[in-house]
Structure 1
């Protein structure tokens, strides 16, 4: 599995951080894994939530469909092996600005409302993620209202 992830990063996504190590693929994978984790929070995986994940990733990352499919596949594998959200949120904290974190929160809310209902589990998970990415509570509320009121 590690070779598959590394191959995807090397072939599809490149952005170097200050150490010369590729950073953006980790962030993309982390964001995708958080969206996937949210879709599973209410113990019901719906196709509309899966479509919302794809739309959010296409909008924010600008990936082609084949790259998107590979990223989602890898994010699902990472998500199954993860022991905590910190494994994903630390990459977000290292790379995202406040504005990007706000957009991530909006994407999370879009996935949560995709099936027409925000479960208490989804709300709680987004609240937890917002805390882990050090987003102000006001951003948590504003992002929710922005998605619900559109």
Structure 2
């Protein structure tokens, strides 16, 4: 397990020459941010986990077992991470504004999956949106769309 984690952290430190490795890093960075939204809610429910899994399936066209493994790895990585910068930095380098906004939309879907927004989830969302340089109007639009989609309060 420690070897796998070391390899993971080394992959963040060194630039990936292999396009498949780069894609994996982007998948993991996105998954970590989704997991961070889940972890921000003191009561992580099945709805949030299902929303995160669906978001990863949709964004990266992954199979069910791939999504399960990615969520497991993201959960471990998120628990050991001390900031969001290395994850958002990867997304900033690889994604254009529309793709970064899509990540924020997916994060809002996870945050609202259980029908309400916890204050800690809102804080994570704000911080990540700032690190991804998402314009405030787009941030609010994504928030309202996710909230309206689930009829949340």
Question: What does residue 122 of structure 2 align with?
Answer: 123
The Cα of 1:149 is off from its aligned counterpart by: 2.7
More helix by share: 2
TM-score, reference length from structure 1: 0.86
Question: What does residue 13 of structure 1 align with?
Answer: none
Secondary structure of the residue aligned to 1:23 is helix
How far apart, CA to CA, are the structure 1 residues paired with 2:18 and 2:25?
A: 14
Question: What does residue 132 of structure 1 align with?
Answer: 131
The Cα of 1:20 is off from its aligned counterpart by: 4.3
Question: What does residue 58 of structure 2 align with?
Answer: 59
Number of residue pairs aligned between Structure 1 and Structure 2: 141
How far apart, CA to CA, are the structure 2 residues paired with 1:20 and 1:121?
A: 36
Question: What does residue 43 of structure 1 align with?
Answer: 42
TM-score, reference length from structure 2: 0.84
The Cα of 1:121 is off from its aligned counterpart by: 1.3
Question: What does residue 147 of structure 2 align with?
Answer: 148
Question: What does residue 68 of structure 2 align with?
Answer: 69
Which runs of no fewer than 5 residues in structure 2 stay unpaired? 9-14
The Cα of 1:144 is off from its aligned counterpart by: 0.9
Q: 2:29 matched to 1:30? A: yes
Runs of 4+ in 1 over 3 A off after TM superposition: 1-7
